[in-house]
C-alpha cells in the first residue's frame, strides 16, 4: 500500500491512507511537543492526554491492560515500570526467553483479569415471572442452571410470603455464551448477578434504584439472602456498608445470633478494614447487590434437598401469604391481628 500510493495516489484508498498518515504524524509531533514543560499545560496537550486516558480505559474494559513500549525499552525495564515480573510479561505476550528488546511504539499486554477467557457453557436464561421478578436486559440474563434456579426459587419464596409488595429487579447476569460484558470486570461465566433491593412502600421500581436505610425493606432482603446462604450457595455479596446495619438488625430479628453472623457480615467491624466475610462493602453498590455464586457439589446443580432448605430459610408455610403484613406493614399487621382475635373471641359480660 505504501509503495503503490507513493507512485500513484489517485485512488480513494490511497487518499484515505494519506489522510490517516498525516493525522498520525500530527499526533506524534504533538505528543513529542507535550513532553516539554513549556507546552504541557496547553489546551491541545490536555485534550491529547484525555484522549489517551479514554483509550486506555477502553482497553481495560475486558480485563486486559496494555502498555506502549518506549525507546530502548527491554522486557525487564517495561515489566519494572508496570510492577510485574519479567516471566509474567513474557507469558502475557507469548515472548521467548531470548527476547530482550521491545519494538518502540508497540502495545504489549501488562495486565490480565483473573476472569480473562472465562466462558459460559450450557447456560440458561432467567425468564421474568409476573409479580415475582423482572429482568432489565433479557440479552444479559444468562447464567448457569444452579444460579438461575436458585434465584428464581428464592424470589418466589419471598414473594409468596408477601404477594402484595413490590417484586424484585434483576440487573446483569451474563450474556449468552459468556465472555466480556462491559462495563463489568466479572459477569463472564454465569455465576455473577446484580440484584436490586426490596423497598418499602407500594411503588414498583422499573430499574435498579438507590436504597437508603429508611426505604430499604431489610426483612424481605434478608429473607432473600438467607435463602441463598443456608445451602452455602454464595461465595461473597457486595453490599454498601450503610445498608448493612439494617440487614444485621433484620437477621437478629429473624433469630440469628452474633456468633452465627460473624462470618457473614462485615458490620459491625470497621468499614475501612477488608474482611473475608460473605457480605462485604464495595463502593457503588447502594442501588444493587452483587452476588457471586459457588458450586456446593461437584455436579454444580441445585438438588431437591438444597431447594427445600431454601424454602425453609425463607419461612414458606402452607397457610399462604400474610396479607395483613403486606398491606399495612409490621406494626399495622400486629394491630390488625389483635383486633381480629378480639372480634372472634367469645363475648363475655354486657356491651
Q: What is the pLDDT of residues 285-341, one digit of tens each?
A: 999 999 999 988 777 888 888 888 888 887 754 333 333 344 444 444 454 344 444
Contacts for 21 with CB less than 8 Å, ≥ 6 apart: none
147-157 tens-digit pLDDT: 999 999 999 98
Q: Which domains does the chain have, with CATH numbers?
A: 52-112 (3.10.350), 124-315 (3.30.1380.10)
3-state helix/strand/coil string of 40-74: CCCHHHHHHHHHHHHHHHHHCCCCEEEEECCCCCE
pLDDT value of position 309? 85
pLDDT, mean of residues 238-252: 93
Residue 205 is predicted with a pLDDT of: 80
Do 200 and 215 touch, CB atoms closer than 8 A? Answer: yes
Separation between Cα atoms, residue 138 and residue 118, nearest integer Å: 21
For CA atoms 268, 283, 264, 229, the dihedral sign is positive
Contacts (Cβ under 8 Å, ≥6 apart) of 94: none
DSSP 346: P
Instruction: Output the pLDDT for position 351.
Output: 32
Range in 33-42, 63-72, 312-321 with the lowest mean pLDDT: 312-321
Whether the CB-CB separation of 172 and 120 falls below 8 Å is answered with no
Q: Is the pLDDT of residue 5 over 80?
A: no
Query: Quick one: average pLDDT of 6-28?
Result: 78
pLDDT for 32 beyond 80: yes
Give 154-210 as a 3 state SS string. HHHHHHHHCCCCCCEEECCCCCCCECCCCCCCCCCCCCEEEECCCECCCCCCCCCCC
Helix (H, G, I), strand (E, B) or coil at 27: helix
% of the chain surpassing 90 pLDDT? 34
Whether 70 contacts 84, CB under 8 Å: no
* Burial bucket for residue 281 (CB in 10 Å: 0-12, 13-18, 19+): buried
Under DSSP, is residue 92 helix (H, G, I), strand (E, B) or coil?
helix
Answer whether 170's CB lies under 8 Å from 196's CB.
yes
User: Which pLDDT does position 345 carry in this prediction?
Assistant: 36
Q: What is the pLDDT of residue 121?
A: 85
pLDDT tens track for 164-181: 778 899 999 999 988 888
Query: Which pLDDT score, from 0 to 100, does residue 6 have?
Result: 66
**pLDDT at residue 59, as a whole number:** 55
Computed over every residue of the chain, the mean pLDDT equals: 81
In degrees, to the nearest 5, what angle opens at C-alpha 181 toward C-alphas 176 and 182?
Answer: 155
> 198 with 168: CB under 8 angstroms?
yes
Side-by-side strand order, sheet with 168-170: 133-135, 168-170, 192-195, 289-293, 234-238, 279-280
Q: Are 224 and 158 in contact (CB under 8 A)?
A: yes
Closest CA to 116 of 180, 173, 60, 56: 180
CA nearest to 186, candidates 147, 152, 213 = 147
Percent of the chain with pLDDT over 70: 84
- Measured over all CA atoms, what is the biggest interatomic distance in the chain, rounded to whole angstroms? 116
Q: Please tell me the predicted confidence (pLDDT) of residue 240.
A: 93
Amino acid at each position: 500500500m505504501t509503495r503503490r500510493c507513493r507512485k500513484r495516489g489517485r485512488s480513494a484508498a490511497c487518499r484515505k491512507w494519506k489522510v490517516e498518515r498525516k493525522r498520525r504524524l500530527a499526533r506524534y509531533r504533538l505528543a513529542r511537543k507535550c513532553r516539554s514543560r513549556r507546552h504541557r499545560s496547553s489546551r491541545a496537550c490536555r485534550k491529547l492526554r484525555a484522549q489517551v486516558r479514554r483509550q486506555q480505559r477502553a482497553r481495560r474494559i475486558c480485563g486486559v491492560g496494555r502498555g506502549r513500549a518506549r525507546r530502548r525499552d527491554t522486557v525487564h525495564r517495561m515489566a519494572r515500570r508496570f510492577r510485574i515480573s519479567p516471566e509474567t510479561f513474557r507469558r502475557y505476550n507469548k515472548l521467548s526467553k531470548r527476547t530482550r528488546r521491545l519494538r518502540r511504539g508497540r502495545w504489549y499486554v501488562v495486565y490480565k483479569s483473573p476472569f480473562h477467557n472465562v466462558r459460559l457453557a450450557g447456560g440458561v436464561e432467567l425468564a421474568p415471572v409476573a409479580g415475582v421478578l423482572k429482568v432489565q436486559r433479557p440479552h444479559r440474563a444468562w447464567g448457569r442452571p444452579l444460579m438461575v434456579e436458585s434465584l428464581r426459587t428464592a424470589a418466589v419464596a419471598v414473594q409468596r410470603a408477601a404477594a402484595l409488595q413490590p417484586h424484585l429487579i434483576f440487573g446483569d447476569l451474563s450474556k449468552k455464551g459468556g465472555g466480556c460484558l462491559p462495563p463489568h470486570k466479572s459477569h463472564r461465566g454465569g455465576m455473577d448477578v446484580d440484584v436490586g433491593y426490596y423497598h418499602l412502600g407500594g411503588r414498583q421500581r422499573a430499574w435498579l434504584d438507590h436504597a437508603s436505610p429508611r426505604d430499604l425493606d431489610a426483612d424481605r432482603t434478608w429473607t432473600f439472602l438467607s435463602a441463598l446462604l443456608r445451602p452455602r450457595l454464595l461465595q461473597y455479596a457486595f453490599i454498601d456498608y450503610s445498608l448493612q446495619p439494617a440487614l444485621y438488625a433484620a437477621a437478629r430479628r429473624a433469630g440469628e445470633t452474633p456468633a452465627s453472623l460473624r462470618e457473614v457480615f462485615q458490620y459491625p467491624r470497621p468499614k475501612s478494614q477488608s474482611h473475608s466475610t460473605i457480605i462485604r462493602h464495595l463502593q457503588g453498590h447502594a442501588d444493587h447487590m452483587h452476588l457471586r455464586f459457588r458450586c456446593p457439589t461437584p455436579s454444580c446443580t441445585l438438588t431437591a434437598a438444597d431447594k427445600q432448605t431454601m424454602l425453609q430459610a425463607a419461612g414458606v408455610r402452607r397457610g399462604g401469604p400474610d396479607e395483613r403484613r403486606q398491606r399495612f406493614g409490621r406494626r399495622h399487621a400486629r394491630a390488625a391481628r389483635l383486633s381480629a382475635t378480639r372480634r372472634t373471641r367469645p363475648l363475655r359480660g354486657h356491651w
